[in-house]
Structure 1
């Protein structure tokens, strides 16, 4: 039996422990879906926690793999759900970070073919990244449709209007080895309130990886680039002073681990305590184990009483 010395032991914390943790940290990174809200309903107490942290002078940012809306629309959603102090510069979505990557890292010269929602295209255009405009006839096929001549990147995100033609076009563009292949995130699925699930960007990315024989560069969590975007805009940000709060072990906890951050799992979303315990004694999966666990973000309210 392997020794467990040094392995994480995910543990629920309460009261004074939470207070001590919040006092020790200066930066708080929150996932959104499943942590702060479910759809159009805020998690009870979430707005009070975030607003209280900001009033105390803590740095609070929001890191979401949801690429369906631009940041300005996120600001409106935050305000609508009671998070009244959230501004544009607090929000780091996978669509925004993808735009920064294309502009500042890849220094793209050409167009991007987007498999994704209008919100993703809006974020790209805001950063000055031109996107291929879809103008196919309703009965067009890959045999007779037009292909743009200057496509230098294919970017895959969540797309609720996905068609076979979009996948076929993207596959054609990716035959060029100089065409970048990016994905906003690799989330496989998302839960719906009805108990059904919604295929995520990762499922579309996987289809294109098979079709093209290539691997996509993933921008969002759990990869480090999103944290690099944040730290570039908050000079002096120390990973040791950060706490990542999320609801998904394979995304949020792994992201925190990859970036050297302490992690907190809240049980109001995808992952539950049983899954965390399964990874607890595994050396291979230690990066998925949270440092702390709370039932809900509302448990943090005790620190402000």
Structure 2
């Protein structure tokens, strides 16, 4: 497979062809617009330039810890007016999926309070916990993890208070043949600072998959179920005319490729240029790359006007 091209190294003809090749942009947020430490300089200019030439923008994140309302406020601080319906995160995706299959039943959930609130507001019944420390004895453990509740779905996403008893309890519910296993964010490692990663929720979801023998329905990137949901909800009839922008090879590029979208990796977050150039799996290699979304503004300033 050919190596990805930096968008600012495209010829004038290639730039024009690239700009005219997509109508909709799906974009990650963390690592693309901001990191834990700072906002990405002039990233907002890149999206403003895309909107000026008529591209539709949708933001797709694996971060459900930040609410949609908090995202809207954070966008506003960097000069972007983004509507709540333009933002998709795993909690919203899970709600849409459960509604699409007309799910009814009790849900055991391992996730943040913000994630749980989205599901409760949508009318779903949730169980969680144990949320307290338990005595280190098998008798006490059994009292906290065995239950007769008719749980028909287990959901796992980011939970900063994840404990062994929560995973053990989830596994026991999954023994029921009709109990679904649903994961939100799939990140096995989460970048929290330059060169510093922490274990992500994907690693814990894998424990449940291995222990239960069930394959999770994945409503975070790069999940197939999420892709199908986005294509349907956004009424995408030509996936090849969608550009996926992200900063992670495993989550963003892989998601875009799986959906048939074009892919643009930015080096402002979780992937370095060295990691990109060392990647050999075609599923993780983007069509294009850029230092940041600010390069898009520069590209569009020099490229011939889009026909869109």
CA spacing shift, 1:148–1:129, aligned 2, 3 Å = farther
Task: Identify the residue that residue 207 of structure 1 maps to in structure 2.
Answer: 207
Whole-Å separation in 1 of the counterparts to 2:92 and 2:205: 18
Q: Paired residue for 2:4? A: 10
1:77 is displaced (CA, Å) by: 2.3
> Aligned in 2, Cα 1:137/1:188: closer, same or farther, shift over 3 Å?
closer
- The corresponding residue for 2:52 is 55
Q: Counterpart of 1:90?
A: 86
Q: Deviations over 1:61-115 (max 9, x none)?
A: 111112223323322222233322x11111111221112112213x221121111
Contact 1:183–1:216 (8 Å) recurs in 2: yes
Could you state the TM-score of these two structures normalised by the residue count of structure 1? Answer: 0.87
* Alpha-carbon spacing, 1:193–1:18, altered in 2? closer, same or farther (3 Å): farther
Structure 1 residues without counterparts, runs of 5 or longer:
1-6
**Shift in alpha-carbon separation, 1:227–1:212, aligned structure 2, 3 A:** closer
Distance in 2, Cα, partners of 1:26 & 1:261: 11
Are 2:264 and 2:288, in contact at CA under 8 Å, matched by a contact in 1? Answer: yes
3-state SS, counterpart of residue 8 of structure 1: coil
Structure 1 Cα separation of the partners of residues 54 and 265 of structure 2: 23
Give the Cα–Cα distance (whole angstroms) in 2 for the partners of residues 36 and 158 of structure 1.
21
Give 1:232 shift.
2.4
1:124-143 matches, cutoff 5 A: 124-134=119-129, 138-139=133-134, 141-143=140-142
Give the distance between the partners of 2:103 and 2:142, measured in 1 at CA.
28
Aligned length in residues: 293
Superposition RMSD on alpha carbons, in Å?
Answer: 2.2
1:244-259 to 2 correspondences below 5 Å: 244-259=244-259
Q: Is the 8 A contact 2:218 2:224 kept in 1?
A: no
On the 8 A contact 1:8/1:289 being kept in 2, the answer is no
The alignment status of 1:293 with 2:289, answered yes or no, reads yes
State the partner residue of 2:305: none
Counterpart of 1:100 in structure 2 is 96
49-58 or 160-169: bigger deviation: 49-58
Match in the other structure for 1:38: 35
Asked if 1 retains the 8 angstrom alpha-carbon contact of 2:246 and 2:253, the reply is yes
SS in 1 for 2:294: helix
Task: State the secondary structure of the residue aligned to 2:142.
Answer: coil
